[in-house]
Amino acid sequence: MIFRRIKSLDAILETSKQQPLHRSLGAVQLTLLGVGAIIGTGIFVLTSAAAQKAGPGMMWSFVIAAAICAVAALCYAELASMVPVSGSAYTYSYAVMGEVTAWMVGWALVLEYAVAGSAVSVGWSGYFMGLLESAMGLRVPWWAASGPGWSFVDGLPVADFSHGVVNIPAIAVVMVITGLLMRGTTESARVNAALVVIKVIALVAFIGLTLPIMNGAHFEPFKPNGWFGEGHSGFGVVGAAASIFFAYVGFDAVSTAAEETKNPQKNVPIGLLGSLAICSVFYLLVAAGSIGAIGAQPVHLVAGDMLQPGSAPFNEACALPANVETLVCSNDALAHVLRAIGYQRAGDLLGLAANLALPSVILMMLYGQTRIFFVMARDGLLPERLANIHPTWKTPHLVTLITGLLVAVAAAFLPVGQLADISNSGTLFAFFMVAVSVLVLRLRDPGRHRPFRVPLVWLVAPAAGIGCVGLFVNLPIESQLVLPIWGVLGLLLYFAFGYRNSHVGRGLKPE
């Protein structure tokens, strides 16, 4: 029976010793990796998309998303400290819920990491082109500056190529990061640490310039689309929280680095919770500065309508002269705010910082995805050749290259807002399964050593699960539908390959 295929925690730990990854990361590096993965798209890019959905009420959206991430982070910390190997939610699900569930979680994590990497790449592209135009007066040809706008007509996606065809800068940055990751984890972590410092300095400067000139009138109306978008899926304060949840999820990429971490039982929980706490404070301060400086009201074609960021009607509304300079229509939100309040040079410098810093987020998304593919291949659910380690670089180079190519294709043709929502559908499913796994393990194996234990677990874990479900049902309907469709494709692949080649199914034991 496929539902009896459960890989015990002891077997998982033993398997990781067969093709071990080099342990080189400490608590500080892990926290910096987490900060590098978290601070980025949500503040540098998705601030404008959140404003379109919730207006100034996005302040509450950040709080809601942070609270759900916090309880999910506690669940991740307990499992990661018990099972300090690569694979994140996929590995935990394998040990607790069995192979089919683990496959579905791993398959859903493709939406989290790979699609998220694409979204950040598109966000970086916006800052890159904004900096080129502002500082040097250069413009990327319109057809190469962005992918097409997408709308749904009778339930089918329809592309609008009037604003762009393919995002060339996004493709370029993905391939550069892919090459860096193929060369080695330690090198990547060092580069990431430098980028995190640049990113934090840029955000501190932004806060210092915008908070002193906050205008209270810009916060009214505070919730122009209400709490739930008045029946429009994906809008309102909660709908915006479902979208910008994407901005926090980088913390769980720390858990995928467990197998490359020194003293993971201690350092992984520090990296998870520490990076989340640091980033939450930054998010609220920067969001307040953005709203207070220039306002954050949604744009409309017809008074009262709600336009999905990245859609063809939204692009049409942003082309109107009255909306061109609004926050919600900017592709480089924070740099745009500084330029709008008279800090042209500071805006350009922040744009430069984003161009340097956002690749750290892309790096962590690609890093997380390749390590999950690596573990799935090591379990026989994907071709085992993908788990090969380069003799010199000591990295899973082949799966890294394949992942980079897939991420580049998505970044070339989809807008950042829709990519983020698609990513969230997979992320929320994975987080839900982690919360369930914590509770199941507490019942099934209560005596196992837990270096980190979730406090008040019977309150915290259910809160994480309920929160994930609540955000999922507030995503745009087309993003909700991605998960079951993607899941069916994943099951077809599993029964075509993974079911027959699974090490657990074939009775293979770690040597």
CA distance 353 to 206: 11
Q: Which domain holds residue 190?
A: 2-501
Q: What is the pLDDT of residue 472?
A: 93
Tokens 């900060």 found at: 35
Whether 151 is covered by a domain: the verdict is: yes
CA distance 425 to 446: 31
> Model-level pTM greater than 0.85?
no
Whether 509 is covered by a domain: the verdict is: no
Which positions ≥6 away from 27 have C-beta within 8 Å?
A: 266, 267, 270, 271, 274
Per-residue pLDDT of the chain (511 residues; tens, 9 = 90+): 455 566 666 666 665 555 555 666 777 877 877 777 677 666 777 888 888 899 999 999 999 998 898 888 888 878 877 776 656 678 777 877 788 888 888 888 888 788 888 888 888 888 888 888 887 888 888 888 888 877 666 666 777 787 788 999 999 999 998 988 888 655 555 666 677 788 888 889 999 999 999 888 999 899 988 888 776 777 899 999 988 888 787 666 666 666 667 777 677 778 877 888 888 888 899 999 999 999 889 988 877 778 888 777 888 888 888 888 888 888 888 888 999 898 998 988 988 888 887 887 788 788 878 878 888 888 888 888 877 887 887 778 888 898 899 899 988 888 776 787 888 888 898 889 889 989 998 998 888 877 778 888 999 999 999 999 999 999 888 888 888 998 899 999 999 998 888 887 777 664 4
Q: What is the pLDDT of residue 308?
A: 82
Question: Peptide bond before 221: cis, by omega within 30 degrees of 0?
Answer: yes
Dihedral of CA atoms 189, 193, 194, 195 in degrees, nearest 10, equals: 90
Scanning 211-305, the segments in alpha helix (DSSP H) are: 236-244, 253-256, 264-294
Whether 511 is covered by a domain: the verdict is: no
User: Any idea what the CATH number is for the domain that residue 220 is in?
Assistant: 1.20.1740.10
Whether 301 is covered by a domain: the verdict is: yes
SS3 376: helix
Question: Peptide bond before 391: cis, by omega within 30 degrees of 0?
Answer: no
Q: Which residues pair with 153 in a beta bridge?
A: 156
Whether 508 is covered by a domain: the verdict is: no
Token readout for 41 is 């798209």
Which positions ≥6 away from 193 have C-beta within 8 Å?
A: 29, 32, 36
Q: What is the pLDDT of residue 511?
A: 46
Name the nearest CA neighbour of 448 among 242, 196, 265, 202: 265
Whether 292 is covered by a domain: the verdict is: yes
Looking at the structure of the chain, the number of domains it has is 1
